[in-house]
């Protein structure tokens, strides 16, 4: 189960990233750092992130371009950071899907407070929607952590449940073994293929025993996805 709130800091200034990280870690957040927009997008594909602090002025892929790419697939709260204070920059950022905007220099404590507010608002908004996920006749309740078909409950271990929930929440996405491991175990995925494979096999066996269906499809050479 994912208990830790994860924040991604994207800024080409290492000193700023380190300063923000100190304050966020004091709030018990799990913090990831990226120095470029490209690196940020790679981390977003690898980890589950709850909020992003995104600098606008970066080389190659700037903050606004990065924001547009994020919004193509994700609804994660984004707070833009910029040395520019002009209203046009704020309006542009907010119109592209940013949730908040802070002008540099800023108080790290204020940024931490704004991140906390965005995370809380986002989780409350999606709490009801995400409570129960249906895959064909399979119901997955994220709050009670129960998996049922009709009135029949299917017992899963915590890891097995988290894997099934991850796939169910992203029904059109294929996850590699490495991506599943980093999202569920929250650790480096080195040598994780066999661990994930064993868990997938056990989930399939339990689901098939009760329903006659496996639900988790192997996409050869790529990974796994949920399927009816």
Report how far apart, in Å, the C-alpha atoms of 149 and of each of 6, 86, 140, 204, 205 are. 32, 55, 9, 14, 15
Domains of the chain: 6-127 (3.40.50.2300), 132-226 (1.10.10.10)
pLDDT at 129 over 60: no
Backbone angles phi, psi at 151, to 5 degrees: -100, 0
Residue 37's contacts (CB-CB under 8 Å, 6 or more residues apart) are 10, 58, 60, 61, 62, 63, 65, 66, 69
pLDDT of residue 84: 75
Structure-model confidence comparison of residues 171 and 15, the more confident one:
15
Most trustworthy range by pLDDT among 6-20, 80-94, 143-157, 200-214:
6-20
pLDDT of residue 189: 65
Over the stretch 36-72, which tens digit does the pLDDT of each residue have?
Answer: 999 999 999 999 899 999 999 998 899 999 999 998 8
pLDDT of residue 125: 61
Q: Residue 94: which pLDDT band, with cuts at 50, 70 and 90?
A: confident
Q: What percent of the chain has pLDDT over 90?
A: 57
pTM above 0.85, yes or no: no
pLDDT of residue 72: 82
| Distance from C-alpha of 185 to C-alpha of 181, rounded to nearest angstrom | 5
Quote the tokens at residue 212.
Answer: 């006659």
């Amino acid at each position: 189960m994912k208990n830790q709130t994860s924040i991604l800091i994207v800024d080409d200034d290492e000193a700023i990233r380190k300063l923000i990280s100190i304050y966020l870690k004091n709030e018990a957040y799990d913090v990831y750092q990226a120095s470029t927009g490209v690196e940020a997008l790679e981390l977003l594909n690898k980890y589950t992130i709850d909020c992003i602090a995104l600098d606008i002025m970066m080389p190659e892929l700037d903050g606004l371009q990065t924001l547009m790419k994020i919004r193509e697939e994700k609804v994660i709260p984004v707070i833009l950071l910029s040395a520019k204070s002009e209203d046009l920059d704020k309006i542009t950022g907010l119109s592209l899907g940013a949730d908040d905007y802070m002008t540099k220099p800023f108080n790290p404590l204020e940024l931490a407070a704004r991140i906390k507010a965005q995370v809380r608002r986002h989780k409350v908004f999606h709490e009801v929607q995400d409570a129960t996920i249906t895959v064909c006749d399979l119901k997955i309740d994220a709050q009670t952590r129960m998996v049922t078909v009709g009135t029949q409950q299917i017992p899963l271990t915590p890891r097995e449940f988290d894997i099934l929930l991850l796939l169910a929440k992203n029904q059109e996405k294929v996850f590699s073994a490495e991506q599943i491991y980093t999202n569920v175990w929250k650790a480096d995925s080195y040598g994780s293929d066999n661990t994930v494979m064993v868990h997938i096999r056990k989930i399939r066996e339990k689901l098939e025993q009760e329903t006659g269906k496996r639900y988790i499809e192997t996409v050869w050479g790529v990974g796994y996805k949920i399927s009816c």
